[in-house]
Structure 1
Amino acid sequence: MEILAFGVQSDEKPLIERAFAGRHEVHCLDVFLNRDTAPIAAGHEIVSTSVNADLGAQVLQTLAAGGTQMIAQRSTGFNNIDLDVAERLALRVARVSFYSPYSVAEFAWTLAMAVNRRIIRAASRTRDFDFRLDGLLGRDMHGRTAGVIGTGKIGEAFARIAHGFGMRLLGWDVAENPACTGLGMTYVPKEQLLAEADLVSLHVPLLPATHHLIDADALALMKDDAILINSSRGGLIDSTALVAQLRAGRFLGVGLDVYEAEAGLFFLDKSLEGVDDDTLARLVTFPNVVVTSHQAYYTEDAVGQIIDATVRNIADYLAGRRSENVLVPAAPAG
Structure 2
Amino acid sequence: MKTAIFSTKYYEREYMDKANAATGHELTYFEIPLNIDTAVNATGFEAICIQLGDRIDKATITQLSAAGVRLIALRSAGFDNVDIEAAAQHNITVVRVPAYSPQAIAEHAVALILTLDRKTHKAYNRVRENNFSLHGLLGFNLFGKTVGVVGTGKIGRAFCSIMLGFGCRVIAYDIKESEEMKNKGIVYESLDYLLQNSDIISIHCPLNAGSRHLFDAGAFSRMKAGAMLINTSRGALLNTTDAIEALKKKQLGYLGMDVYEGEESLFFKDLSESVVQDDTIERLMSFNNVLITPHQAFFTIEALEQIAKITIGNFTAFENSEPLPNEVLL
Partner of 1:140: 141
Q: Equivalent residues in 2 for 1:316-331 (5 A)?
A: 316-328=317-329
Q: What do the CA deviations read for 1:9-56 (whole angstroms, capped 9, x no partner)?
A: 211111111211241121222222223322211111111111221111
What are the within-5 Å matches in structure 2 for residues 253-268 of structure 1?
253-268=254-269
Deviations 1:146-183 (A, max 9, x none): 00000111111101011000001111001211121122
1:1-334 → structure 2 map (5 Å cutoff): 1-22=1-22, 23-328=24-329
* Structure 2 Cα separation of the partners of residues 272 and 85 of structure 1: 39
Letter in 2 for 1:179: E
1:117/1:139 contact within 8 Å kept = yes
Deviation readout 1:285-325 (Å, 9 max, x if unpaired):
11111111111111111121111111111111111122221
TM-score by length of 1: 0.95
Distance 1:227 1:81 in 2: 32
For 2:291, what is the secondary structure of its paired residue? Answer: strand
What is the CA–CA distance in structure 2 between the aligned matches of 1:216 and 1:191, rounded to whole Å? 13
User: Is the Cα–Cα contact under 8 Å of residues 91 and 328 in structure 1 kept in the other structure?
Assistant: no
Structure 2 stretches of 5 or more lacking a match? none
Deviations 1:126-149, CA, capped at 9 Å, x for gaps: 222222111111100001100000
Q: Which residue matches 1:332?
A: none
The one-letter code sitting in structure 2 at the alignment partner of 1:141 is L
Indicate if the aligned counterparts of 2:6 and 2:50 stay in contact, CA closer than 8 A. Answer: yes
Task: For residues 187-211 of structure 1, give each alpha carbon's deviation from its aligned partner in whole angstroms, at most 9, with x where no partner exists.
Answer: 1110110111011000000010111
Aligned pair count reads 329
Q: Distance in 2 between matches of 1:53 and 1:310?
A: 16
Paired residue type of 1:285: S
User: Residue 297 of structure 2 aligns to which amino acid in structure 1?
Assistant: A
After superposition, the Cα gap between the structure-2 partners of 1:18 and 1:11, relative to the gap in structure 1 and judged at 3 Å, is same
Equivalent position SS for 2:28: strand
CA RMSD of aligned residues (A): 1.4
For 1:326, what is the secondary structure of its paired residue?
Answer: coil
Instruction: Check whether the contact 1:86–1:328 (CA below 8 A) recurs between aligned residues.
Output: no
Q: Is the 8 A contact 1:116 1:252 kept in 2?
A: no
Note the alpha carbon deviations across 1:260-295, whole angstroms, 9 max, x for none: 111222112222223222111111111111111111
Q: 1:195 to 1:328 in 2, by over 3 A?
A: closer
Identity of aligned residues (%): 37
Structure 1 outlier segments of 4+, above 3 Å: none
* Separation in 2, partners of 1:138, 1:202: 22
**1:97 touches 1:324 (CA, 8 Å); kept in 2?**
no
What letter is aligned with 2:259? Answer: V
Would the alpha carbon gap of residues 328 and 179 (structure 1) be closer, same or farther in structure 2, given more than 3 Å must change? closer
Distance across 1 between alignment mates of 2:273 and 2:51: 24
SS of 2:245 mapped into structure 1? helix
Displacement of 1:328 after TM fit? Answer: 4.8
1:197-235 Cα deviation digits (max 9, x unpaired): 011000000010111111111011112221100000111
- How far apart are residue 242 of structure 1 and its match? 0.1
Letter in 1 for 2:80: N
SS of 1:8's equivalent? Answer: coil
Q: Distance in 2 between matches of 1:275 and 1:79?
A: 26
Q: Would the aligned equivalents of 2:243 and 2:252 in 1 still touch at CA under 8 Å? A: no
Structure 1 gaps of 5+ residues are 330-334
Q: TM-score, normalised by structure 2?
A: 0.96
For 1:73 and 1:282, the matched residues in 2 are separated by 32
CA distance in 2, matches of 1:226, 1:24: 49
C-alpha distance in structure 2 between counterparts of 1:185 and 1:48, whole Å? 38
